[in-house]
Amino acid sequence: MAWDPEAFSRSLGGQSPATRRAYVGDLEAFTVWAERARVEGPAEVDRILLRRYLAFLTTRRYARATVARKAAALRCYFAWQRRRGVLDDDPARRLASPGGRSRLPRVLDHGELEVMLDGDDLAPVAPTLSSNDVTKPPRLHDALGARDDAVLELLYGCGLRVAELCGLDIGDVDLRAGMVTVMGKGSRQRRVPMHDRCAQTVELWLERGRPVLVSEVSPPHAAFLNRRGARLGTRDVRRVVDRRSPVPTHPHALRHSFATHLLDGGADLRVVQELLGHASLQTTQVYTHVSKDRLLSVYGATHPRA
């Protein structure tokens, strides 16, 4: 019986492209290992075989988080085979996996954010575009600077995931209302407000910077383009952050900082959940561990003996 990875990939239509690629790759790696053990299809897989596979991955020194993801992919795959009637029983239903080590996300301090968002000597691509200067055509250097400003403002000002930002179309940005419509994980759509500075920066990019980068290969509706005129990719965003950050960091740190600073300012956890697009409040609760300043200030202000 065939493993049918292509049909499995199609069944993951509600997942992000990255998740689909990872899960299908995990399945294909398992099938290679299983076929070496003379297991030729999902009907021949039992719980013991799956536990042996996870043990094998551990001996190969895979990271705990990687093993946990591979186990999740196998649970998803065998549950799908059970639903479609290929299997009478799901061997992965209670498959346990090692949890990833709990790591608090990197949070940028206000000084680091000022350098990234306002630009200084560490930012070689600094915009010189002005919304008032409509007579002089902007140069490529200036257009890239305007784009980088808009990218960083949206990542921090709206807490967007990098993939969400790269997938934005022009129609998703409502400058008059100061809102951006985002398609998040699991095809969940949400509307996130933009503060005034963010909206102005995005408007400057769309009206004055983006036309400079448009080429024959440019998707007509893509909000962000790279210097070749193609839709901006996740690696492009990583290069933007590397250019502008005063410390080594990751683009996702801007999303972490967005959530943590909101909680430090007194935002309700459920409001932050909605802004981040988390399906579960439990996912958002990690930021309550990050927000130490908020915890100490509330304790000091409310405890009678503090």
261 carries an active-site annotation:
no
- Residues of CATH 1.10.150 domain(s) within the chain? 5-83
Percent of the chain at pLDDT exceeding 70: 88
Q: Which two tokens stand for residue 233?
A: 């990719």
Report the pLDDT value the prediction gives residue 223, as an integer from 0 to 100. Answer: 97
Which is catalytic among the residues 70, 244, 256, 278? Answer: 278
Over residues 53-72, the pLDDT tens digits come to 999 998 888 888 889 999 99
- Reported as a single tens digit per residue, the pLDDT across 220-263 is 999 999 999 999 999 999 999 999 998 888 898 999 999 989 98
| Per-residue tokens: 106 | 């990197």
CATH code, 5-83: 1.10.150
The question of whether 287 is a catalytic residue gets the answer yes
Q: Which of 99-103, 188-192, 195-199, 211-215 has the lowest mean pLDDT?
A: 99-103
In CATH, the architecture of 110-296 is Orthogonal Bundle (1.10)
- What is the per-residue pLDDT for 137? 53
Instruction: Please tell me the distance from the alpha carbon of residue 292 to that of residue 286, in angstroms, as a whole number.
Output: 12
Residue 180: the pLDDT is 96
Counting residues of the chain whose pLDDT is more than 90, the rounded percentage is 56
- What is the pairing mode between strands 173-174 and 179-183? antiparallel
Q: Given 147, 231, 287, 294, which residue is catalytic?
A: 287
Q: Which of 47, 106, 185, 250 is catalytic?
A: 185
- Residue 104 predicted with pLDDT over 80: no
The verdict on whether 278 is a catalytic residue reads yes
Point out the catalytic residue in the list 69, 75, 161, 231.
161
- Only one residue has tokens 């409509």, namely 134
Please report, for residues 146, 218, 263, the alpha-carbon distance to residue 169 in angstroms, rounded to integers and kept in the order given. Answer: 17, 12, 29
Residue 294 annotated among the catalytic residues of the structure: no
What's the whole-model pTM score? 0.67
The predicted model gives 101-130 an average pLDDT of: 65
**5-21 pLDDT, tens per residue?**
999 999 988 788 888 99
154, pLDDT greater than 60: yes
Q: pLDDT at position 29, please?
A: 95
Q: Of 255, 256, 261, 294, which is the active-site residue?
A: 255
Residues contacting residue 261 through CB under 8 Å, at least 6 positions apart: 107
